[in-house]
Chains A and B, each alone.
Chain A
Amino acid sequence: MDDEVIVCRCEEVTAGEVRAAIRAGTRTIAAIKKRTRAGMGLCGGRTCARLMARLLAEETGLPAAAVAPPRARPPVRPVPAAALAEED
């Protein structure tokens, strides 16, 4: 994957930016997310999390099995905040 290729299309984060974050020491998808915003878009990382996992494995030499899926937190589908407040 070339550095200019977009990894997270929701937040427009490139492979180069994710690699830079990994080189700076991030070792989990959650950490990459906090540093780059990749995975924080509307799709909730459904598209890009697997690409981040691949970059993480490539850059660190970790086996794919060792890269845990990103932590999941509610809401896992887009829900308006107002609806959450009125949950019954």
Chain B
Amino acid sequence: MTMADVIVIGGGPAGLSAATTAAAHGARVILVDEQAIPGGQLSKQIHKFFGSREHLAGTRGFAIGRRLLEDALAAGVDVRLGRAAYAAYPGTGGEFEVAVYGGDAATGGSRAARLRGRRLIVATGASENPLAFPGWTLPGVMGAGAVQTLVNVHRVRPGRRALMVGSGNVGLIVTYQLLQAGVDVAALVEAMPRIGGYLVHAGKVRRAGVPILLGQTVLEASGDGRVERAVVARLDERGQAVLGSERSFDVDTICLAVGLSPWLELLLILGVRTAYIPALGGHVPLHDRDLQTSVPGLYVAGDVAGVEEASVALEEGRLAGMAAAESLGRGDRVALARAKLEVAARLDGLRGGPFGAARREAKARQVNELSGAPPLSPAAAAGPESVPASRADGRAGIPGRPRPVAVIECYQQIPCNPCETACPRGAITIGSPITNLPKLDVDACTGCGLCLTACPGQAIFLVDRSGETATVTFPYEYLPAPEVGRRVTAVDAEGRPVGEAAVTSARMTRKTNRTWAVTVTVPHAYAGVVRGMLRPRR
């Protein structure tokens, strides 16, 4: 039987970074993942990620997954993909045994095998929450994860016209990706009275003209052998459908993006203590500051420790990897202590701002309950403060100014700073914490537009009011490619047609990583209004 210092289960951002870090500190590490492609959920993500340079922000998800795998291999991790961990047991000497099933032709096909490790890091992620309604078992109803696998990995459209359920970041991002794939999205429904995810993600969907229906839900799906229509209704304050408010949509796909729950099964077999913390996705394992669970030697990292974001998963992986190596007496103690503090500080930053507040409090409760400290008050129920969807005002850009200037429409404190990093002039400041809103030094801005394509939220525009007519430059990620000289229908931040405009420039370079910067000419009065263009019908 193979014996390792550390076994890591899960090859997503948390598992890969945990394995790399533990190996970098001298531990012998084996990592297993049931998928053949590394990166966990990252492998299905084609959008640019938020965060900072430490989190590879601005990089598209699948590329992050590959990078993390390369790092792990370079650090000497024994990476075994295509192997599912189906059981975990405590060994006799305080170590762990993990049963895995899988393999490939090269290793004699799929077989069951056992691995032994002195420490175990579980990074199994989360699974999607179901939503049950009459007709939800019809073909055509699918989870957002399945839609992403189809569209982004296999390049297969799930249907022609979809209804999205759920306005968290997953629902918003997958809606955008469906549009990019050429699928119509009839509407996005959200049971809560507010959008759950980042407004910048919602902005991409809005500019494409997809209505976001708040306080509404899908009542039923019907059709002959597969989904042909969906009935949507308004909800009252008690969450009951309002009679008579039903509306029918002709769709062949209903995509469910109603949240994730940590996938705890292996941890439960090993007997970890859990707590129910809704802000983190439901039942979560208790853990200490080192991410060690109630079972000595057993660590967690990433969504399984509480559903958060990929950037958090990366940092938690690093922390768990360091802690596991440290507990084995590996690595330099002083350097490890310092590095752990740095990670903890970055995690704190990522949990800052209105979006992070509830999670930060929830994490404190998770840690304190294990150490016996009195539980904190229930996590702040308040959601992120509401911000107007669009503040595009007529003042954007500066009349008479001889060059274009960036207009940053980023109004929510989310942990993200690629715009700051992208600006060669230092004209954009976010600083610390990373959830600060970007501040633009208008006089230093040369209007180069590098921030525009760097912003994963596509919330930066260039406005030039120096000429006879104004120009607006916006990010664009749809096919067919925009053409210079084409007349297009310019739209506002809500996707409402504003008028005709001519495309005067469409730039895409290796640096912009498949995002075009499209410039259109508009009358001055519209410089603060136009934020995109209609996608041409295929």
* A interface residues (Cβ-Cβ under 8 A, vs B): 1-2, 4-7, 9, 15, 44, 46-48, 50-51, 64-65, 68-69, 71-77, 79, 83-84, 86-88
Minimum CB–CB distance for B407 against chain A, Å: 43
Contacts of B274 in A (CB 8 A): 69
In the complex, 28 of the A-B residue pairs with CB atoms within 8 angstroms, ordered by the A residue number, are A2-B134, A4-B134, A5-B132, A5-B134, A6-B132, A6-B136, A15-B132, A44-B265, A46-B263, A47-B130, A48-B130, A50-B129, A50-B261, A51-B130, A69-B274, A72-B266, A75-B86, A76-B86, A77-B86, A77-B101, A79-B86, A83-B111, A83-B112, A84-B112, A87-B113, A87-B114, A88-B111, A88-B114
Contacts of B261 in A (CB 8 A): 50
Given the known interface contacts A69-B274, A87-B112, the answer about A74 and B87 at a Cβ–Cβ threshold of 8 Å is: yes
Q: In the bound complex, what is the Cα–Cα distance between A68 and B276 (angstroms)?
A: 9
- Contact between B87 and A75 (Cβ–Cβ < 8 Å)? yes
Q: For chain B, residues 77 to 117, give those with C-beta under 8 angstroms from any C-beta of chain A.
A: 84-87, 99, 101, 110-114
Q: For chain B, residues 115 to 151, give those with C-beta under 8 angstroms from any C-beta of chain A.
A: 127, 129-130, 132-134, 136-137
- Contact between A1 and B268 (Cβ–Cβ < 8 Å)? no
Minimum CB–CB distance for B364 against chain A, Å: 17
Contacts of A72 in B (CB 8 A): 264-266, 268-269
A5-B133, A79-B86 are known; give 14 further A-B pairs, CB within 8 A: A5-B136, A9-B137, A50-B129, A51-B130, A51-B132, A69-B264, A71-B268, A72-B269, A73-B269, A74-B99, A75-B101, A83-B101, A87-B99, A87-B112
- Contact between A7 and B268 (Cβ–Cβ < 8 Å)? no
- Contact between B112 and A76 (Cβ–Cβ < 8 Å)? no
* B interface residues (Cβ-Cβ under 8 A, vs A): 34, 84-87, 99, 101, 110-114, 127, 129-130, 132-134, 136-137, 261, 263-266, 268-269, 274, 276, 278, 282-283
- Contact between B129 and A88 (Cβ–Cβ < 8 Å)? no
- Contact between A74 and B132 (Cβ–Cβ < 8 Å)? no
Contacts of A84 in B (CB 8 A): 112
Q: In the bound complex, what is the Cα–Cα distance between A84 and B266 (angstroms)?
A: 17
Q: In the bound complex, what is the Cα–Cα distance between A73 and B132 (angstroms)?
A: 26
Minimum CB–CB distance for B279 against chain A, Å: 12
Contacts of A6 in B (CB 8 A): 132, 136-137
Minimum CB–CB distance for A4 against chain B, Å: 7
Give the contacting residue for B265; candidates A2, A65, A76, A79; CB below 8 A.
A76
Q: In the bound complex, what is the Cα–Cα distance between A79 and B101 (angstroms)?
A: 7
Q: In the bound complex, what is the Cα–Cα distance between A6 and B138 (angstroms)?
A: 11
Contacts of B283 in A (CB 8 A): 68-69
Q: In the bound complex, what is the Cα–Cα distance between A6 and B133 (angstroms)?
A: 8
Contacts of B282 in A (CB 8 A): 50, 64
Q: In the bound complex, what is the Cα–Cα distance between A2 and B254 (angstroms)?
A: 19
- Contact between B113 and A88 (Cβ–Cβ < 8 Å)? yes
> Which 3 A/B pairs are nearest by Cβ-Cβ distance?
A74-B87, A65-B276, A75-B86
Contacts of A2 in B (CB 8 A): 134
Contacts of A64 in B (CB 8 A): 276, 278, 282
| B111, B132, B133, B268, most chain A CB atoms within 10 A | B132
Instruction: Please give me the residue from chain B that is nearest to A67 by CB atom.
Output: B276
Contacts of A46 in B (CB 8 A): 127, 263
| A6, A65, A69, most chain B CB atoms within 10 A | A69
- Contact between B268 and A74 (Cβ–Cβ < 8 Å)? no
Q: In the bound complex, what is the Cα–Cα distance between A79 and B34 (angstroms)?
A: 12
Q: In the bound complex, what is the Cα–Cα distance between A56 and B127 (angstroms)?
A: 20
Minimum CB–CB distance for B530 against chain A, Å: 44
Instruction: Please give me the residue from chain A that is nearest to B264 by CB atom.
Output: A69
Contacts of B278 in A (CB 8 A): 64
Minimum CB–CB distance for B303 against chain A, Å: 14
Contacts of B87 in A (CB 8 A): 74-76
Contacts of B263 in A (CB 8 A): 46
Minimum CB–CB distance for A84 against chain B, Å: 6
Instruction: Please give me the residue from chain A that is nearest to B274 by CB atom.
Output: A69
Minimum CB–CB distance for B15 against chain A, Å: 16
Instruction: Please give me the residue from chain B that is nearest to A7 by CB atom.
Output: B132
- Contact between A86 and B111 (Cβ–Cβ < 8 Å)? yes
Q: In the bound complex, what is the Cα–Cα distance between A2 and B241 (angstroms)?
A: 13
Minimum CB–CB distance for A6 against chain B, Å: 5
Contacts of B113 in A (CB 8 A): 87-88
Contacts of A51 in B (CB 8 A): 130, 132
Given the known interface contacts A77-B101, A79-B112, the answer about A1 and B269 at a Cβ–Cβ threshold of 8 Å is: no
Give the contacting residue for B269; candidates A5, A68, A74, A88; CB below 8 A.
A74
Contacts of B133 in A (CB 8 A): 1, 5
Q: In the bound complex, what is the Cα–Cα distance between A65 and B365 (angstroms)?
A: 15
Instruction: Please give me the residue from chain A that is nearest to B133 by CB atom.
Output: A5
- Contact between B84 and A77 (Cβ–Cβ < 8 Å)? yes
Instruction: Please give me the residue from chain B that is nearest to A48 by CB atom.
Output: B130
Contacts of A74 in B (CB 8 A): 86-87, 99, 269
Minimum CB–CB distance for A64 against chain B, Å: 7
Q: In the bound complex, what is the Cα–Cα distance between A87 and B407 (angstroms)?
A: 61
